[in-house]
Amino acid sequence: MIMQSKSIRYKAIISSDWSECLAPGGPFDLISFNYPELTPRLETIFKQYTGNLISLGEAARQIKELLPNPIAENQMDAYLDHCFATYPGVPELIQWCLNRDILFMINTTGMTGYFQRILAKGLLPEIPLLSAHPLIRYPKKNSDPVHIYSLFEIEDKAKNTAAAIKAHQIPPNKIIIMGDSGGDGPHFEWGAKVNAFLIGSMTKPSLENYCLTRNIKINFKFGSAYAPGQDRDLKKEMQVNFMGLSPCIKEVLV
């Protein structure tokens, strides 16, 4: 599928995290699938940077050192064939937004190549803009997003959203930021400064704490919200249909 978004005049934007926000998996699951012996170390790295204990750049450096070889396209495809999942209603919500000229931007610390292969395999609707880490990135294909922003640190989420808003001339009152953990904290902090509408999805204590200590109001919480020390309830999360967000989005953006 060839992306057609360059000619569309978008009237609003949703800039959303992916892992544990729109999909149940983590950004390093694709590595664990191919190199299961790395799983304990990868889980530690994930918790450290989403809890704002180490930078994303440091996390990427450690992962690059752990990988015996780069993840090839066939390895990525094998992972997607066995494991790809979103929360219910996520593809439909993305399409719902696109049908209303709402620019849907995935803004994630996940790997660029993961989304390139998702789109090449037709597992999601068109994603006009992608902001992701280039640790894994494949040669360009027609199915790629119109523009891919490189994200090296979690602070780049805000920079890339701002760049997208400027490029597409999005009005300042038509911005939604969505995230789940402390790794989205700087994005929320920037969003609060520009009066964006902030949505916590499957909200973790690390995001709650980040916002609380900086007097940032999360405008709307969707799906499960976790207390400190509470384990994730994946079964409960997978009962949440993200089309349930459409009335909120419509009220804010349409």
Q: How much is the pLDDT for 151? A: 97
The reply to whether 1 falls in a domain is no
Task: Tell me the per-residue pLDDT of 126-174, one tens digit each, with 9 for 90 and over.
Answer: 999 999 999 999 999 999 999 999 999 999 999 999 999 999 999 999 9
Contact (Cβ atoms closer than 8 angstroms) between residue 28 and residue 63? yes
Q: How many CB atoms lie within 10 A of CB 246?
A: 17
The domain boundary, picked from 39, 62, 81, lies at 81
Q: What is the mean pLDDT of the chain?
A: 94
Domain region containing 41: 29-81
Q: 3-class DSSP state for residue 175?
A: strand
The reply to whether 38 falls in a domain is yes
Q: Kindly give the pairing relationship between strand 147-150 and strand 129-133.
A: parallel
Are 59 and 158 in a shared domain? no
**Own/partner pairs, 64-67, CB within 8 angstroms, 24+ separation:** 64/135, 66/35, 66/38, 66/41, 66/42, 67/31, 67/35, 67/38
Q: Looking at residue 245, what DSSP letter applies?
A: G
Are 15 and 67 in a shared domain? no
How confident is residue 119, by pLDDT bands cut at 50, 70 and 90? Answer: very high
- Exposure of 142 by Cβ count < 10 A (0-12 exposed, 13-18 middle, 19+ buried)? exposed
CATH number of the domain that residue 118 is part of: 3.40.50.1000
Q: How open is the CA angle 176-118-14, to the nearest 5 degrees?
A: 5
Ramachandran angles phi, psi of 14, nearest 5°: -120, 120
